[in-house]
């Protein structure tokens, strides 16, 4: 049995003891164990995590796109250390410099891009920011509580966020959700109806949505008073947990025309795709529409501190309509988080991620396409910037093959792949409607050599997994 020694240079409990204690004392409700036994990592650097034996694991998911700028990023770590010495904490009812600077930076950036004045509101996690946005929308829409959202969409697991997340399994055990969203089909190019191009499928999805407003008997519109029953449409520009599905470029423009016609707000969830994951600060910038609300989190602090928030149009969020105390968290806009967020945005523009991310993403995608030629089980590859996907199928190249991907994850986390005669592991994330999609979210600073290594390891991994099936 290890005992804590505050004077010890290092304090390392063996993996087997940690796993035994975790099995006895930890709730499993707040985590997901992808492999058995769960994997324990000890430290990270750049694109790699390291286990207790010192084996490196190339991480191609970076904490669900929360660590966009790599583990132990010196510039961001130094920012955190400096802030600890200056002002590490302050109650959220008081002000401090970086809170105001960060809000201004995001709001000025949005005004430049979208031509709208707005304000920024902070919280501590993505789902909490979604909850705040629901309050904001309901308040602005005079208490209307019904929302539209997409099939395949994911917005979090708090009660409000679960109501607009399409998966029933997140709601099943927690009672009746009377204000559950109406879920609308999302154009999924790889699994579109036969005989349609992706663009035709996109048009079809928009037409089916617009049909809901044709008459009062279609269910959501009262033509006598020109009023919709629904307040807002929650969208991920690229579906995250849904499998990094990239819709045709015309989709959101066409959808927004319908929303504007019937007075429905567009709330854009950028929690996974924000902060240059796609090569833009916000992924919605690729689609040529102006959002009413943007919700953000994750990579805002590179995973070093929980901070999230939202930007909204001035008329929705000004202090007269959304007064002090409308929401609250003890830790929102904490100085450690806001100083990091400010540095993340400065760094992103200084390092020109708008140029480097699309270039690296194109190179990564070409590698996946080459891999696809050698493995017929890769049914689809696609992506935008460094948000990429590979859909794992049976040998017909279309039927979902969750079992094969599960085996790939197991082998990757075992750390028994080989590179230059040494052991190495591979960290992958599983997503998709059928849980058969590898969702790639590597560090935005990943090198071209590391991308080449990723392709070699994926090739090795697929070969091993197929033999093990």
Residue with tokens 């304000």: 119
pLDDT at 7 over 70: no
Pure H helices in 115-248: 126-140, 159-163, 198-210
User: What pLDDT is stored for residue 210 in this prediction?
Assistant: 97
Percent helix, strand and coil across the chain, each to the nearest 5? 40, 20, 40
pLDDT at 3 over 50: no
Short-list 43, 156, 44, 31, CA closest to 443 = 44
The predicted structure's pLDDT at residue 30? 84
pLDDT value at residue 363: 98
In the predicted structure, residue 272 carries a pLDDT above the cut 90:
yes
Structure confidence by residue, pLDDT tens digits, 95-122: 999 999 999 999 999 999 999 999 999 9
**Residue 435 φ/ψ region, left for φ over 0, alpha for ψ in the -120 to 50 degree band, beta for the rest:** left
**Mean pLDDT value of segment 171-186:** 92
SS3 134: helix
Both structure tokens of 336: 């450690």
Average pLDDT over residues 338-367: 98
pLDDT reported for residue 208: 97
**pLDDT score at 2:** 45
What is the per-residue pLDDT for 4? 40
- Model confidence over 40-69: pLDDT tens digits? 999 999 999 999 999 999 999 999 999 999
Q: 282 with 106: CB under 8 angstroms?
A: no
* Structure confidence at residue 8 (pLDDT): 52
Sheet of strand 146-150, all strands in order from the earlier edge strand to the far edge: 118-123, 308-313, 293-296, 265-269, 230-235, 146-150, 182-184
Residues 116-143, mean pLDDT to the nearest whole number = 97
Q: Rounded to an integer, what distance in angstroms lies between the CA atom of residue 146 and that of residue 221?
A: 13
Q: How many residues does the chain have?
A: 469
- pLDDT surpassing 70 at residue 6: no
The model scores a pTM over 0.85: yes
DSSP bridge pairs for 378 = 392
| CA dist., res. 90 & res. 87, Å (int) | 7
Section 247-270 average pLDDT: 98
Q: What is the pLDDT of residues 432-443, one digit of tens each?
A: 999 999 999 999
Q: How confident is the model at residue 10 (pLDDT cuts 50, 70, 90)?
A: low
The pLDDT value given to residue 139:
98
Mean pLDDT on 320-329 = 94
pLDDT tens-place string over residues 394-427: 999 999 999 999 999 999 999 999 999 999 999 9
Give the tens place of pLDDT for each residue, 187-204.
Answer: 999 999 999 999 999 999
Q: How far is CA 289 from the centre of its chain?
A: 20
How many whole angstroms separate alpha carbon 241 and alpha carbon 70? 21
Q: Model confidence at 5, in pLDDT bands (50, 70, 90)?
A: very low
CB neighbour list of residue 14: distance below 8 Å, 6 or more residues apart:
2, 52
Contact criterion met (CB below 8 Å) for 417 and 455: no
């Amino acid at each position: 049995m290890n005992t804590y020694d505050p004077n010890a240079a290092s304090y390392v409990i063996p993996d087997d003891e940690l796993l035994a204690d975790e099995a006895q004392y930890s709730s499993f409700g707040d985590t997901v164990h992808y492999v058995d036994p769960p994997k324990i990592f000890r430290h990270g650097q750049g694109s790699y995590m390291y286990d207790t034996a010192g084996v490196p694991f190339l991480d191609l998911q970076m904490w669900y796109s929360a660590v966009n700028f790599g583990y132990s990023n010196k510039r961001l770590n130094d920012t955190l250390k400096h802030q600890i010495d200056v002002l590490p904490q302050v109650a959220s009812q008081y002000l401090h410099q970086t809170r105001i600077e960060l809000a201004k930076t995001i709001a000025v950036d949005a005004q430049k891009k979208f031509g709208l004045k707005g304000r920024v509101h902070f919280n501590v996690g993505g789902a909490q920011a979604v909850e705040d946005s629901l309050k904001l929308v309901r308040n602005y829409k005079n208490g209307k509580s019904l929302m539209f959202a997409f099939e395949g969409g994911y917005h979090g697991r708090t009660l409000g966020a679960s109501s607009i997340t399409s998966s029933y399994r997140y709601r099943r055990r927690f009672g009746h959700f009377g204000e559950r969203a109406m879920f609308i089909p999302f154009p999924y190019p790889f699994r579109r109806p036969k005989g349609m191009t992706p663009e035709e499928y996109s048009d079809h999805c928009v037409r089916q949505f617009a049909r809901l407003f044709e008459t009062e008997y279609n269910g959501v519109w009262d033509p006598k008073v020109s009023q919709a029953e629904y307040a807002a449409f929650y969208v991920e520009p690229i579906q995250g947990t849904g499998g990094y599905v990239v819709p045709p470029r015309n989709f959101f423009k066409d959808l927004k025309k319908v929303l504007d016609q019937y007075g429905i707000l567009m709330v854009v969830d950028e929690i996974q795709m924000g902060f240059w994951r796609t090569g833009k600060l916000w992924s919605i910038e690729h689609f040529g529409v102006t959002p009413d609300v943007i919700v953000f989190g994750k990579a805002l602090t590179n995973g070093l501190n929980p901070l999230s928030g939202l930007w909204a149009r001035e008329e929705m969020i000004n202090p007269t309509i959304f007064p002090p105390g409308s929401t609250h968290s003890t830790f929102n806009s904490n100085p450690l988080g806001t100083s990091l967020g400010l540095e993340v945005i400065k760094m992103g523009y200084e390092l020109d991620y708008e140029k480097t991310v699309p270039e690296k993403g194109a190179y990564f995608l070409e590698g996946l396409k080459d891999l696809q030629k050698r493995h017929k089980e890769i049914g689809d590859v696609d992506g935008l910037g460094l948000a990429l996907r590979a859909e794992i199928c049976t040998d017909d190249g279309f039927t979902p093959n969750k079992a094969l991907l599960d085996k790939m994850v197991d082998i990757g986390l075992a750390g028994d792949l080989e590179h230059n005669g040494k052991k190495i592991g591979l960290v992958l994330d599983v997503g998709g409607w059928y849980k058969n999609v590898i969702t790639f979210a590597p560090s935005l600073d990943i090198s071209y050599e590391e991308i080449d290594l990723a392709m070699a390891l994926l090739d090795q991994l697929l070969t091993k997994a197929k033999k093990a099936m």
